[in-house]
Amino acid sequence: MIPIQTELYQELPPVYGNREYRELKTLLDRMDEIILQSNLENTFIESFASKASNTPKRRQRLIEAFRCTLLRQMFQLSYGRLACELACNHLYQKFCGLFRIDKIEVPSAKTLERYEKMASSELLQQLVAHLNRVAAIGATDFEEQPLQLETPVNLGVEYVDATVVKARVHYPVDWLLLRDAVRTLTLAIAQARKYGVCSRLPKEPQAYRTAMNKLCIEMTHARRTKDAAKKRKAIFRRMKKLVRVVEKLSRGHLAKLRRQGAASMLSVAKQLMLEHKFTVILDQIDAVIHQAHERIIGNRPIASKDKILSLYESDMHVIVRGKTDAEVEFGNTLFLAEQADGLIVDWELYQEQAPADSRMIPEHLQRMKEKEIALRAVASDRGFDSKENRHLLGEEIENHLCPRNLEQFKQRLEDEAFCRHQRRRAQTEARIAIVMHGFLGNPMRKWGYRNKARLCGWGILAHNLWVLARLPQQAAQAKAA
């Protein structure tokens, strides 16, 4: 009987004289091996309900979603750019399982976005933990290391630090929020009218945006002039009047949209999306105007907990870093723990205002216990040191937290192990830069905490695969010998 080949795949044509191409091909081939050897794809597929993976076609779609999203995070591509690259780049096609003889079906940008949203942040935490456990398995007399690593990774010694995932916002000047409100509402009005939802509108939406932009320019130029405060107050009153006009027009279009949405050309999903564009701004208009009035007209400060920093990012916070180039940052705190080879062992993106660094350690130890990772040593900077943490680590876990107390620090410098771990901990700053700028994007191209937490999971999974793919292998060592 002649076997039947159900899929028509082919080998890539050889390419000569290009070292960068060979390095990229070697990297992607090694990442493909690690995904297969660690059974990562099957773990991803099994996390879905049987209805989503009960046929070969559906399983192949999940694999395609998994690999395309990893590739996007690996090279920090937009959805549209990745769709173009998948159509013409044979290396990317082979990695994602799209390179065939008869035809090449490439997912669209919108499909790639849906692929990314298939997995939750909790699932991605489990996938990273699974990959790390497989990488930590040692070789025996009868079996090789599952990923064919020369030396299994050590998850027991880790180096922790915290950073900020910056929000995609401009500097939160109060009157700029009024500009954002006018811009978003007028764009929503234009989109509603495009689908036949029309209400009273004396001018074109662009005219209101132009008027607001002119007021913003006047506000900027009035800063260093004579009677600047008086001029800024007058300009702000004109801004407020314009915002109220746009608000009234927007509420009219929103009411019309709700009345005739089903009869218009809009689908239910587009109608809900358009309603959200209106309501997310209209619900904050009064608070934004009040905040700007208090600051500009009344010269009264607003408490940080009551301050609106962005109309679109409700979960961002003011984070005082105290660094030379970043005294204050806007975003969310990200806790990271890496091991000696650079693998990210644990992470947490905080939705609320993050606690002090020292209070992150108990939560981290609890997560490591749930992941069944036995810690032997923890190293960090002085921000994580506290009496409670020293007691919590006890005698089972080596304490290499940098002490806050100067006398204690001088005593610890006499310990060779402490000095060695502190020297290694200096590399964690570089690891954070690699993760943030190379795999997550800083600032991220996402709005909202839920999307950012998911993107953190995808980025760290791609980062760990990249790190493992560059570690020495058993086969390579044997061949060299």
Mean per-residue pLDDT for 271-283? 91
> Does residue 242 register a pLDDT over 60?
yes
Q: Kindly state the DSSP code that residue 100 receives in the 8-state scheme.
A: B
Strands 377-380 and 398-401: parallel
Tokens of 244: 């109220």
- The count of other CB atoms within 10 Å of the CB of residue 382 is 13
Q: Among 38-42, 57-61, 257-261, 283-287, where is mean pLDDT lowest?
A: 257-261
Exposed / middle / buried, residue 90 (Cβ in 10 Å: 0-12, 13-18, 19+): middle
Q: Among 13-22, 118-127, 208-217, where is mean pLDDT lowest?
A: 13-22
Percent of the chain with pLDDT over 90: 53
Tokens 């990271």, residue located: 336
> Can you tell me the distance from the alpha carbon of 234 to that of 238, in angstroms, rounded to the nearest whole number?
7
Residue 112 near residue 79, CB atoms below 8 Å? yes
- The dihedrals phi and psi of 319, each to the nearest 5 degrees, come to -120, 115
Question: From start to end of 295-450, where are the E strands?
Answer: 317-320, 328-339, 344-349, 377-380, 398-401
- The dihedrals phi and psi of 432, each to the nearest 5 degrees, come to -60, -45
Nearest alpha-carbon partner for 332 in 222, 480, 436: 436
Nearest alpha-carbon partner for 451 in 353, 349, 367, 352: 349
> Can you tell me the distance from the alpha carbon of 259 to that of 251, in angstroms, rounded to the nearest whole number?
12
**Between 139 and 36, whose confidence is greater?**
36
Q: What is the pLDDT of residue 479?
A: 46
> Can you tell me the distance from the alpha carbon of 123 to that of 141, in angstroms, rounded to the nearest whole number?
34
Tokens of 156: 């027991």
Q: Kindly state the DSSP code that residue 440 receives in the 8-state scheme.
A: I
pLDDT digits (tens, 9 = 90+) for 310-328: 888 888 888 777 666 667 7
Q: What is the pLDDT of residue 5?
A: 42
Helix or strand (DSSP H, E) at 182: helix 174-194
Rounded-to-10 torsion of CA 323, 325, 331, 337: -60
Rounded-to-10 torsion of CA 122, 123, 129, 134: 170
pLDDT digits (tens, 9 = 90+) for 95-142: 998 887 777 889 999 999 999 999 999 999 999 999 999 999 887 756
Beta bridge partners of 233: none
Nearest alpha-carbon partner for 9 in 89, 116, 94: 94
> Can you tell me the distance from the alpha carbon of 62 to that of 116, in angstroms, rounded to the nearest whole number?
11
Nearest alpha-carbon partner for 321 in 381, 399, 405: 381
Q: What is the pLDDT of residue 144?
A: 84
> Can you tell me the distance from the alpha carbon of 313 to that of 296, in angstroms, rounded to the nearest whole number?
23
> Can you tell me the distance from the alpha carbon of 143 to that of 337, in angstroms, rounded to the nearest whole number?
30
Contacts of 417 (CB under 8 A, 6+ apart): 398, 400
**What are the structural domains, with CATH classification, of the chain?**
19-118 (no CATH), 151-168+315-476 (3.30.420.10), 174-306 (no CATH)
**Between 204 and 49, whose confidence is greater?**
204
End-to-end CA distance of the chain: 43
Tokens of 459: 């980025």
Q: What is the pLDDT of residue 195?
A: 86
Q: What is the pLDDT of residue 2?
A: 40
> Can you tell me the distance from the alpha carbon of 281 to that of 90, in angstroms, rounded to the nearest whole number?
44
Sign of the torsion angle spanned by Cα atoms 447, 452, 455, 460: positive
